[in-house]
Amino acid sequence: MQISFVTSNNGKVASLRRVCEPLGIKVNQVSLELPEPQVSDLRVITQHKAEAAFKEVQGAVVVQDTGFYLEAWPNFPGPFVKFTLDSLGIDGYLTLVEERSRECEFRECIAFFDGDQVSFFESKIPGRLATSRQGIKHPEAWSELWEIFIPEDFDKTIADMTDKERADWRSRRGDGSASLFARWYADRGGA
């Protein structure tokens, strides 16, 4: 079994491969920039991306979009993470939550499209923001937010975790939408 994952984010590819390969699913990265509607609904974004990717690849595809949500600023930045990181930077995020709630969460949405129907796989990763950057850039990092995001029930950022601690964190949360997709795709035999 194999699937084309249309993304230019190598960290997202590594994450999907980690859960798919043990189930016998080969993940082929197709690095394309896809048009994204500027809306706040992750499902709308991933559906649009999946349909555009299908036209380019001419076959079944999977795409992913992730939003980041600060409790202190409802629905912000949402799916506009790249834009806000480019304009505010990590330190800007930390400034936004000074003297406010540091609670936050990632929301992930994977969409599979085979030309007939879009199937969605969604998950949330709750946590809180650190008070400063912590840790080092990791090759599997899908966002520099790893340096300030402390997952629920942990006391350090994802970037500050050892490989063993990161594996423990993943096993506790089940790898979110990637695991949901991988099990579903394997159960249907990749078709």
DSSP string, 31-45: ---------S-HHHH
Q: What is the pLDDT of residue 104?
A: 97
pLDDT in the model for residue 174? 67
Residue 133: the pLDDT is 93
Q: Report the sign of the C-alpha dihedral through residues 17, 20, 25, 31, in that order.
A: negative
pLDDT tens string, the chain, 191 residues long: the values are: 999 999 998 888 988 998 999 999 999 999 998 988 999 999 999 999 999 999 999 999 999 999 999 999 999 999 999 899 999 999 999 999 999 999 999 999 999 999 999 999 999 999 999 999 999 877 777 788 999 999 999 999 999 999 899 888 877 776 689 999 999 999 988 76
Q: Are 19 and 175 in contact (CB under 8 A)?
A: yes
Q: Write the DSSP symbol of residue 110.
A: E
- Residue 175: its pLDDT value, please? 63
125, 129, 130, 131 alpha-carbon torsion, rounded to 10°: 180
Q: pTM of this prediction? A: 0.90
What pLDDT is recorded for position 191?
65
